[in-house]
Amino acid sequence: MDDLQQQLICDHYRIKHVLNLVQRELEKTAELPLEQINLCKITMGLAYLAGYPERYHHPLEEKIIDKIKAKVEMSAFDRISAQHQYLETETAHLIEMVNNIDNLSTLEIKRLINQFKRYVIIQNEHLELEENVVMPAMLQWLTPSEAAEIRAQITEVEDPLALFESKELYRSVRAKPQLVA
């Protein structure tokens, strides 16, 4: 398997993981009394969904799509590119909703939950389309030299979630700090 395809597979796995995390946190939030609600994990998850895909993942996919489009026309490619723009806008809207929740009203929380549920559906459909169109097209149409060219054009950005793939690092981050006497 090509390392570009492996990168996309890992990215999709992490994006789905964050989507599930945020959705679970929102569902828990809906059941809490307003004074116990903490939007920290939701805010962090949305920040991830806005940051990494926009800075690295989508530009990588767009470069791959551009190379393949030079050889074969697929309407799905244009749809994927349009979805990237839509998802980036929608992610920013969700972040704005969280940031503008004043006094944590039940109505605002429910509105955020419903908006996020729609977002998850669209995001999952988008990821599935990429997995069914872009990845097979990569294997069929992208040459090793084109893959190398794309790799050279993309600035590596460390996925913040990749840091936690190491159980030792995760445990060290979660551990209580040692006080120095």
Q: What is the pLDDT of residues 124-180, one digit of tens each?
A: 999 999 999 999 999 999 999 999 999 888 876 566 665 455 455 445 444 554 544
Residue 180 in any domain: the answer is no
Q: Which residue range forms the structural domain that includes residue 116?
A: 3-174
DSSP assignment, residue 162? G
Give the rounded distance of the alpha carbon of 167 from its chain centre.
Answer: 22
Residue 179 in any domain: the answer is no
Higher pLDDT, 114 or 158: 114
Residue 106 in any domain: the answer is yes
Tell me the CA distances in angstroms from 138 to 14, 63, 135, 181, one per residue in order. 21, 11, 5, 57
pTM, whole model, 2 decimals? 0.82
Q: Which of 105, 94, 108 is nearest to 44 (CA)?
A: 94
Instruction: Name the phi and psi angles at 32, rounded to 5.
Output: -90, 150
DSSP assignment, residue 157? -
Least confident among 6-15, 37-46, 152-161, 165-174 = 165-174
Domain count, the chain: 1
Residue 181 in any domain: the answer is no
Mean per-residue pLDDT over the chain, rounded: 84
For the chain, percent of residues with pLDDT exceeding 90: 48
Whole-number pLDDT of residue 166: 46
Whole-number pLDDT of residue 16: 94
| CATH code, domain with 156 | 1.20.120.520
Higher pLDDT, 2 or 119: 119
